[in-house]
């Protein structure tokens, strides 16, 4: 992917260790050239604090690709939703998606996104978090949204950047963190590691 009008000078190849269309879009917005190689890392880990959870998974994803592409800068990322200390990932099926949305309805939850960047034997890991509040959802609204298929590949069973946006009443933090890649944090990490200038 290439944006010839960007102002960033890129010093090396960048690989996004993800198949997420949303992360691809956000990295593209930054004006960087990159390729996507989805990680096949094991995502099953023992339950730990949310901060540590997304850090560990972002690191696993980045390491999985970096070990095979030693000359590239590899970016791994992971996003979870947390309500009352319960970590909520992607729904397992339609019924799970409905149950998750019912659980989040009318409440404030926290979205955590971890980012790991590995390049030239150096590694940085950061976590960004944002509080998101839903309006009270009716069963019909939940059923209609789940029927679109949109929730099925998203942590917390919703996408803030799609039609579900009408149900978000308040957000305290960064919009892009909720989508799945805190671009402001990633930008600073890439500068710190001399990947861009």
- At residue 1, the pLDDT reads 42
CA-CA distance, 48 to 45, in Å (whole number)?
8
Q: Annotated active-site positions, please?
A: 78
For the chain, domains (ranges, CATH) are: 14-192 (3.90.950.10)
pLDDT at residue number 6: 54
Do the Cβ atoms of 73 and 16 come closer than 8 Å?
A: no
Quick one: pLDDT at residue 69?
96
Q: What is the DSSP track for 145-184?
A: HHHTTGGGGSGGG--TTSGGGGGEEEEES-HHHHHT--HH
- Stretches where the chain sits below pLDDT 70 are 1-7
pLDDT of res. 7: 65
Query: Nearest-CA neighbor of 89 among 112, 60, 62?
Result: 112
Q: Where are the beta strands (DSSP E) in the chain?
A: 14-16, 35-36, 73-83, 86-88, 108-119, 122-134, 168-172
Position 47 scores a pLDDT of: 73
CA distance 118 to 190: 10
Put simply, whether the predicted model's pTM sits higher than 0.85 gets the answer yes
């Amino acid at each position: 992917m290439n944006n010839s009008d960007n102002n960033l000078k890129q010093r090396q190849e960048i690989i996004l260790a993800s198949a997420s269309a949303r992360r691809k879009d956000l990295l593209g917005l930054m004006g960087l050239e990159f390729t996507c190689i989805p990680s096949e890392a094991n995502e099953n880990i023992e339950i730990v604090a949310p901060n540590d959870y997304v850090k560990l998974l972002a690191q696993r994803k980045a390491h999985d690709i970096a070990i095979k592409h030693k000359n590239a800068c590899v970016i791994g990322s992971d996003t979870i939703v947390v309500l009352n200390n319960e970590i909520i990932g992607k729904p397992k099926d339609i019924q799970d998606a409905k149950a998750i949305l019912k659980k989040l309805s009318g409440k404030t939850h926290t979205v955590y996104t971890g980012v790991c960047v590995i390049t030239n034997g150096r590694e940085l890991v950061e976590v960004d978090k944002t509080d998101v509040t839903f309006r009270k959802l009716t069963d019909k609204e939940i059923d209609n949204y789940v029927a679109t298929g949109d929730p099925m590949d998203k942590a917390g069973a919703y996408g803030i950047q799609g039609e579900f946006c009408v149900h978000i009443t308040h957000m305290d933090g960064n919009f892009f963190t909720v989508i799945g890649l805190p671009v402001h944090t990633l930008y600073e990490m890439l500068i710190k590691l001399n990947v861009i200038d």
